[in-house]
Amino acid sequence: MRPASLLSRFPPRAALLADAPLDRLGRLASLLVLAGGAWLLAGLAWDFGMPTGRPAIAHESSAADAAERLAGRSPFASPAPAAQSAVTPSSLMLVGVAASAERGRARAVIRREGQPAPLVAAVGDEVAPGLRLQRIERDQVMLAGPAGESRLALPQPPKLHQEVHD
């Protein structure tokens, strides 16, 4: 074979220089895709390899257990002043609710004036003489007594309003 025929099989030098920017751009794109894949694989290895702590929210097996634990952590756990002679809804404070789609599993944590410990009650329980827990909802409970039906709602945080200055 002659050397001229071997060289004629390669493209001319000017054609090689024209394709060089596209070739470099293709190699750069491949390098970026490879680096991104390595980063994702390193993240997955980190997530699977590192030990994790306890979950921030544990699943409760029973609404009653959760309500009992909530009652123990109540910020209103200090002894209340002496009780009034007649129990009215104003002497009761709803501290927490463990609502459930099943009526028998729902619980309400109610703080009673004059009682050192809060009461964990289910629907139908007597929360005070003559006053029964009728219904438990997500943020309130309904009580039934001789005076009729009354509502206890969870305390709402104070709303902060901003003044607009001109």
**pLDDT per position as a tens digit, 87-145:** 567 788 898 898 887 878 899 999 988 888 889 999 999 988 889 999 998 889 999 98
> What's the pLDDT score for residue 39?
94
| Residue 161 reports pLDDT greater than 70 | no
pLDDT at residue 32, as a whole number: 94
Quick: pLDDT tens for 15-42.
Answer: 555 567 778 888 899 999 999 999 999 9
Taking Cα atoms as reference points, which of 126, 101, 97 lies closest to residue 109? Answer: 97
Shared domain check, 99 and 149 = yes
- Has residue 137 been placed in a domain? yes
Structural domain that includes position 100: 63-153
Section 142-162 average pLDDT: 82
Asked whether residue 93 falls in the same domain as residue 126, the answer is yes
Same domain assignment for residues 86 and 33: no
Q: Are residues 117 and 144 in the same domain?
A: yes
Residue 15 main-chain phi, psi, to 5 deg: -70, -35
Per-residue pLDDT, 31: 93
- Residue 165 within any structural domain of the chain: no
Examine residue 10 and state whether it is found in any structural domain, yes or no.
Answer: yes
Q: How many independent structural domains does the chain possess?
A: 2
Q: What is the distance between the alpha carbons of residues 94 and 109, in angstroms, rounded to a whole number?
A: 6
Domain CATH number, residue 111: 2.30.30.830
Q: Are residues 145 and 83 in the same domain?
A: yes
* Alpha carbon of residue 138 to chain centroid: 15
pLDDT by residue (tens digit) across 56-85? 555 556 666 666 666 666 555 544 444 333
35 falls within a domain? yes
| Residue 104: CB atoms within 10 Å | 11
Please provide the distance, in angstroms rounded to a whole number, between the alpha carbons at the two ends of the chain. 92
Other CB atoms closer than 10 Å to residue 83's CB: what's the count?
Answer: 13
Does residue 161 belong to any structural domain of this protein? no
Contacts (Cβ under 8 Å, ≥6 apart) of 22: none
Q: Tell how many helices (H) and how many strands (E) occur in the chain.
A: 3, 7
pTM surpassing 0.75? no
